[in-house]
Chain A
Amino acid sequence: MTRRTRITLKVVVWAGCLAPPLLLGYRAWTDELGANPISFVTNTLGDWTLRILLASLAMTPLRIVFGLSWPITLRRLLGLFAFAYVCLHFSVWIVLDFFFDWPRMWADIVKRPYITLGMLALLSLTPLAATSTTGMIRRLGARTWTRLHRLVYIAGACAVLHYLWLAKVGVTDPYWYAGALLVLLGIRAGDWSRRAIRRRTAAVAASATSARLIDRKRFSP
């Protein structure tokens, strides 16, 4: 991939990820946020958090299924945007929805499982955002860093469950998100088990070969 395509790709992702809050800003300006603006803004930011998080989780499966390598270069950008969105979503909840009523918010976090899950998703994304730089990868070592960043699966699962749980009877959107997450994780699981099997057969073959060598050595005249 040329430098120019790489830049174009990043510009497209930046523009796509910045568009929803700009649109929200425009709608706020023209008073088109509807009867319940706070709820509208919270829901819109929540939707986009989930979409961008799922998009970041789709990059590796694109490589597994189609052998594409360029999506991986977008993974960090998408992940950081997902984190930015969840922070906005959370800030709206604190500032606009509850206006710093900490005891009331704490009661909701403890009492309502969907809010607990939302908090868990936010908490598991935070160290990932903090360690997203190349310097941090070097400092932690690739192995540790990769292990730490598996937290994103927890974050994805919590985020989807958060939506499933809060949606009232009859709302079907969260099921589509859950389906998408299952497909994305399923592709990874398939790839892992395939590689594990390959490793094992390779190991078995290797040990068989060495056993034969030993046998040959032992019984050779």
Chain B
Amino acid sequence: MLIRRAPRFTAREITDPELYLSRRELMAGAAALALMPGAGEAAAPKSEPLAAKHNPAFSLSEPATKIDHATTYNNFYEFGVNKDDPSRLAHTLKPRPWSVQVDGHVHKPKTFDVNELIKLFPLEERVYSLRCVEAWSMVIPWIGFPLASLLKRVEPTRQAKFVEFTTLLDPNQFPAQKPGFFGFSSLDWPYVEGLRLDEALHPLTLLAVGMYGQVLPNQNGAPVRVVIPWKYGFKSAKSIVRIRLVAEQPKTAWEKAAPQEYGFYSNVNPAVSHPRWSQADERRIGEFRRRPTLPFNGYADQVASLYSGMDLKKFY
């Protein structure tokens, strides 16, 4: 599929690569320091640089959210329900070795080692807006490749209509997957998300393995996650172990937990409010005033045609 119209955003690069490079040096320095015996044991989180070509055609022309905010303010229920749980507990996740099983209605099912997956396709950097259903948003420079590239390689059959993503199930690596008081669990594990096949094949849909010029941090869904910028953040499954092509619409974790609050589509839509949060506006992290939320998170030109003729109030 081709993007007919140019993105709303100019090709001007605001996310200055110079900044990343200097940051990388800083991180490398910090890492070297951390490796020195006895020096700063609790210091700097491990971060490995990851090279990728910036793709201006798919990038916002807005400055990226501070990396410290993007790595400490996260919703990742496998670590806990609080925003600081993921960064605090991120060390419990072991993103290597890791394999991703791609199967279901495909001609060539295959299990990929994540290191192999990263080398399979050229990596590109894309600056996307991330809109959380809780009415806040960030601007993140992701590194990855279109999910379509991977799906085409395994050759979906004619029965394949949907794509189902499954996050790792391992209470030793994801502490919040252990049942709490009275067997309480926030969600029904493992986390399952899904897309319609045409959504999954859309050129905007990215399989991300890094961000901010680095390998993806654990709290952001290491080692591999999906990014669907026109949908609320929870649609973008993290720490994926399985991508399955299926004939029926997958039952997602949030639909199971609260079907009246979280629909299968969950496209960013200022006209359809969540019971607790009006979706008319949002707070961009780092900004003071709220800003209006755009239909499809500003990607309407590219994706609105996927839903032509659909009642988006009904299919929320």
Q: Which residues of A contact B (CB under 8 A)?
A: 34-36, 38-39, 96-99, 104, 107-108, 111-112, 114, 165-166, 168-172
Residues of B within 8 A of A170 (CB): 77, 81, 186-187, 257
**A114-B278 in contact (CB<8A):** no
Query: A112 with B187: in contact, given A38-B283, A168-B81 (CB under 8 Å)?
Result: no
Q: What residue of chain A has the Cβ atom nearest to residue B276's Cβ?
A: A166
Cα A171 to Cα B258 with chains together (Å): 13
Q: List 30 A-B contacts (CB under 8 A).
A: A34-B72, A34-B73, A34-B83, A34-B84, A35-B65, A35-B69, A35-B70, A35-B72, A35-B83, A36-B285, A38-B283, A98-B290, A99-B289, A104-B280, A108-B278, A111-B273, A111-B278, A112-B276, A112-B278, A168-B134, A168-B276, A169-B186, A169-B187, A169-B261, A170-B81, A170-B257, A171-B81, A171-B186, A172-B180, A172-B181
| Contact present for A39 and B136 (CB under 8 Å) | yes
- Docked Cα-Cα span, A177 to B98, in Å, equals 41
Which residue numbers of B lie inside 8 Å of A, CB to CB? 65-66, 68-70, 72-73, 77, 81, 83-84, 134, 136, 180-181, 184, 186-187, 254, 257-258, 261, 273, 275-276, 278, 280-281, 283, 285-286, 288-290
Closest 6 CB pairs of A and B: A170-B186, A35-B73, A35-B69, A170-B81, A169-B257, A35-B285
Q: Cα distance A39–B283 when bound, in Å?
A: 10
Residues of B within 8 A of A111 (CB): 273, 278
A16 to B72, CA, bound (A): 29
- A213→B136 CA distance, assembly (Å): 78
18 additional contacts (CB under 8 A) given A36-B285, A104-B280: A34-B72, A34-B84, A35-B66, A35-B68, A35-B69, A35-B73, A35-B83, A36-B73, A36-B283, A38-B288, A96-B288, A98-B290, A112-B275, A112-B278, A166-B276, A168-B134, A170-B77, A170-B187
Contact across chains for A169 and B72 when beta carbons are under 8 A apart: no
Residues of chain B within 8 A of A107, CB atoms compared: 278
Whole-angstrom CA separation of A169 from B286 in the bound complex: 26
Cα(A104)–Cα(B258), bound, Å: 26
Contacts of B261 in A (CB 8 A): 169
Provide the bound-state CA to CA distance between A169 and B255, in Å: 11
- Closest residue of chain B to A115 (Cβ to Cβ) is B276
Measured between beta carbons, the chain A residues less than 8 angstroms from B186 are 169-171
Nearest A residue to B135, CB-CB = A39
A108 neighbours in B (Cβ, 8 Å): 278
Q: How far apart sit A108 and B280, CA to CA, in the bound complex (Å)?
A: 11
B-chain residues with CB within 8 Å of residue A104 when the two chains form the complex: 278, 280-281
For the complex, give the distance between the alpha carbons of A107 and B279 in Å: 13
CA distance A170 to B281 in the complex (A): 25
Which residues on the A side are within 8 Å of B69 (C-beta)? 34-35
A39 vs B288: C-alpha distance when bound (angstroms) = 11
A171 to B176, CA, bound (A): 12
- Do the beta carbons of A169 and B73 come within 8 Å of each other? no
